[in-house]
Amino acid sequence: MNSRLKQFLYRLFTVCTVIGLMGCSKGEPNDNAARADRAVKQPATTEAVEKSSEQDALIHKFKTVVSTAKEASDIVSFLNENLNKAGQNNADQMVRELYAFYAKDLPTSQEAFFGDNVQNVLTQMDWPITSANAASITDEAVRQLVVTKLSGGYKLVWVEGTIYPIVDYSNQQKYSMYLSKPLNSYIALKAAESDEPAAMDAGLVISWNELASRAVMAETFLKQYADSPEYTEVESIYLDTYLRMYINGLSNTPIFDSNHFKIIPEVKASYKKVAAENPDTVTGIMANRFLEILAKSDDVGMMRGPAGTQLLPEVKKFQKNYRQTALNLLKEA
């Protein structure tokens, strides 16, 4: 073997050795990194298991509270202290359990306000009656009743000279950060109504534009959250409350002028507004169709006949079929 060949083989051996060492030097950190990665991931998995176990224990305790609750305040107190630890799915279910309790308890709670002396005492109080002034009620039994109901998430309303509790949905908006978007949207819809009812004494209390906004709000919920447990209730709120009042009017707030039988300007303006600003909504489409029908009669919707004042045939047909028409439009959306 000549000297040149010896030098070549020596250099080749040296290069291979260096490459081999580089491979080893890279492989060892990779192995160490993998072991470190597993070490980091392991505590996270353990933490998740522990958190799930804590939440299971919390739900078990909550169910016990619900099953033994005498007042809504028992449940509300538990939610105030623990909802932040429940996780979103559990938090949703816990708030729905509160609503289920309200559904059973509300009639009984309202009936309690027709007991001896309750109305006499409360009607002498400064209005509204809230937690701030409830402590000043001199009658001990009445004071205890009011304080208990207010702490349970109820609020007092005064309708036709009578004071009684309703669910204060705004009270649950403090839980918004823990709840899902569908449930938060439902609570917002219900809170708007509990804060300011759309109608009282067969008359509209809010403006026609606000009524249209609430209708669109309910409709939007239906389109976005078709799988929500609250869907059926919101569908009824939309079709049987907001849209019905918007299209048909109310006994004490009609949509047609009693003298000239024409649509009231404020109502017409609201129809035009919602149709222009929300053209792709069922509410906007229904308002626009109604305007088209009324345009054929120069905005007159009623006439005098042998049986007295009555709706024009096309108007009567539209109002009678509004629900099915709207329902069909919702299905097409």
- Of 275, 267, 272, 293, nearest to 211 by C-alpha is 267
Query: Do 86 and 55 contact (CB within 8 A), yes or no?
Result: yes
Distances from the Cα of 326 to the Cα of 2, 7, 329, angstroms: 99, 93, 5
pLDDT in tens, the chain (333 residues): 444 434 433 443 443 333 333 343 344 445 554 444 544 445 556 766 667 889 999 999 999 999 999 999 999 999 999 999 999 999 999 999 999 999 999 999 999 999 999 999 999 999 999 999 999 999 999 999 999 999 999 999 999 899 999 999 999 999 999 999 999 999 999 999 999 999 998 999 999 999 999 999 999 999 999 999 999 999 999 999 999 999 999 999 999 999 999 999 999 999 999 999 999 999 999 999 999 999 999 999 999 988 889 999 999 999 999 999 999 999 998
**Distance separating alpha carbons of residues 231 and 223, to the nearest angstrom:** 10
Tell me how crowded residue 77 is: count the other CB atoms within 10 A of its CB: 15
**Distance separating alpha carbons of residues 74 and 183, to the nearest angstrom:** 22
Distances from the Cα of 66 to the Cα of 61, 98, 151, angstroms: 9, 8, 16
Structure tokens that stand for 135 in this block: 């402590």
- Of 315, 254, 242, nearest to 283 by C-alpha is 242
Widest CA span of the chain, in angstroms?
131
